[in-house]
Each structure stands twice: as structure tokens, then as C-alpha cells.
Structure 1
């Protein structure tokens, strides 16, 4: 089913670029700050602190770019498949930190590109329901061509963002989009391209996202 709301391709590209820049600007800024400390400080402890900051921030920036390459980018030619093991690696790098723990249960197999992109994007959507952190559990079931995804996010003060269901369905609540909400809208586009239906529901202590083959 085609959504009634239509977004210009140039606007979609611009908003996704803004989203990716938002994800990497903080760690890149921290790298710059760390380099400035190395240049200006003579204190050994401050230099050690700056080096640790640079190393941590560089890893974070790299992880976020690797994730974006698959979740938002082409990541291969048309019709390409992606190894779920690679998807797990980039998902852990992007999501798992001191606030969020990722549990991943999936067979090691190659899956059509758009289905893997959807899985990764749904992990980001799940993360938006636990703003204070918690646990995200992702499970992939079924065959590569007709899988089922189940993602459960549990955390303190979990809530489903207003308008999320409409964004996934391709119908923004106020009829417009910005970089703050483009990601779930894009997830809906990927779902329809992959021939999958997405359902979001509140559960005790969190939320559950399910994607099934249409």
C-alpha cells in the first residue's frame, strides 16, 4: 500500500544527510577538542586524558559511519545481499554503550539488502523508545527471503514517541518532516520496498517492534 504523503527525493536525501551529520558531529567535535588540548597543554595527565578522548571519539565516529553506510546508504549494488554477521557488528558498534545493551539472536546468513537495512533502522527506532537507556533485544526468525524481525526495547520511562506509527506508515502527523523524524519515516520506506509490514506496540516496561513479510 502506497502512503498518501510523498517526499521529494532531494528533500529525503538532504534530511538523511542531516541525520548522519547529527550522529557524527559530537564525536568528531570531541576529537578536535582533544587535539587542541594536546597542542596547548604541557601537563602529562591532561595529554593522557586528551589521547583517551581522541581514541574513544574516533572509535565512536567510525562505528556510526559504518552503521550509516549500511542502514542509510547503498552498501552494495542493487539486489545485493548482506551478511547478518556484519549487520550485528555494525549494530553493536552503533548502539551498545554505557546506556544501552544489545542482545542479538539471528542465524549467520546472507539476507537481501533492504531487509537488513530495515532491521538496522528498526533498532534505531527501538532505541528512541528508551531515552534513558536499557536493553534492546533483536531476534531474526524464518528464511532469508521471508524473515520475521522482533525487537524488544526495555528501559526506565520507556515511551513510544508521538507520531511514530504514522511516520513508519509514511504519514507524518503534521504533514511535514525534519531531520529529527526522518529516520522512522525512512524505515517505513525501506519496509515497503522490502515487502514487509511493521507493527509497534507498548508492552510492560518497554515496547515491541515486529516486522513480517507482507
Structure 2
């Protein structure tokens, strides 16, 4: 038997902050390590390695922060809109690397901020279905503000993560408490309900299909 998540606003804010910190702590730590190598090493090859590490890690940290700013932030008036082209740019920076590619065919338009935030959070949900990397395809369905989204992921170990369907539906995970990892799909569900969308997931072989359609 599932139970609804009972989370106050302060706890939700704290968990989302923890999630952002979790995403950026690794590249920031790598930058610190690279700087320490530069200070301690005289070997030119080691210095070159450290500079490369610092550069890559700084770009990764910046990409993750830019993504979080739109996916979790984007504060403003109730009628605020976000350019889906900006959403594509931050999604590519956050997702695309040597293990995962992103195919994005959502038309560029100004859309309600919470709808775009829902889309970006669905991209994060999609990435969790291919833990060893693969391909994520994102497309719009329908037309205008009533249209939805469909995301397909393909990878050698595609799966629907345990409890993610319950978390998207607003139900508590086993044990009843959310952590910084579980809060992201829970927040995605909050965005879906706030914008009038229902979310479904289906696994077909090595493909996971995630659909967001008007409820």
C-alpha cells in the first residue's frame, strides 16, 4: 500500500538544494584536485593533465548549474515564459557526453515556465533509465500549449528505476522518507500535476518511453 508524500515547503527546498549540491560537488572537487597538482608538481605532463582536468570540470560544473537554474529555479511571475531553445542548450550541456547523446526535436518557442521545467526534469528522469549511457530522444506531441512531450531512451541496460513511478505519482518510497536522489522525480510529479499533465513510463526491450500528456 502506497502513501502520499507529506513534505513541507522548507524540506522540499532543502532537498532540492542538496540535489544541486550533489550534482556539482564532483566537478568542483576535481577542480580543487587539479589546482593542488599545479601547485605541487613540476612535471610538465602532470601540469598539462591538471589543466585539462580543471577545464573539463569547470565546464561540467557550469553546465550543471545552468541546467539546475532552469530545471529547479526559473522564478518569476505566474505568466513567465522560457525559450525552449534555452532549455535545449542547457539539456545538451547537462546530458551529452562520451556515453550519452541527446536528440532534441522540440520546436523552439516561448512556453510557460513550469511546462519547460517539467520537460527538463523529464530529461533527468530519462537519464536515470540508461545508467550506462545511450541515447535520449526528446520530441513534442500535439500542438501549442496543450501539447505534451515524448522521450525515448535506448541503452544496453535500459530499465525503469525502482520506485520512480510511485515518486512521480506523489507516493512515498519504501521507508516513507525522501532523500536528495528521490526528490527529483517527486518534484517532476509536482510540476506535472501543477501543469495538468500525466506521466507514463513503458519498457519495450532496450527502449524506455516516457510520455507527458494532458491529464
TM-score by length of 2: 0.95
Distance 2:76 2:29 in 1: 30
Shift of 1:99: 1.0
Q: What is aligned with 2:97? A: 97
Contact 1:82–1:113, Cα closer than 8 Å, also in 2: yes
| Cα deviation code 1:157-186 (max 9, x no counterpart) | 111111111100000232221112110000
| Cα deviation code 1:16-40 (max 9, x no counterpart) | 1111000000000000011111111
Q: What is aligned with 1:188? A: 189
Distance 1:5 1:50 in 2: 45
Distance 2:60 2:136 in 1: 19
Distance 1:91 1:111 in 2: 16
TM-score by length of 1: 0.95
Q: What is aligned with 1:160? A: 160
Q: What is aligned with 2:209? A: 208
Distance 1:4 1:63 in 2: 33
Shift of 1:69: 0.3
Shift of 1:75: 4.5
Shift of 1:130: 0.7
Q: What is aligned with 1:112? A: 112
Residue correspondence of structure 1 range 29-178 to structure 2 within 5 A = 29-174=29-174, 175-178=176-179
Tell me the number of residue pairs that the alignment of Structure 1 and Structure 2 aligns.
212
Distance 1:143 1:108 in 2: 12
RMSD, matched Cα: 1.2
User: Could you list the runs of 5+ residues in structure 2 that have no partner in the other structure?
Assistant: none
Question: Cα distance 1:28–1:118, how it changes in 2: closer, same or farther (>3 A)?
Answer: same
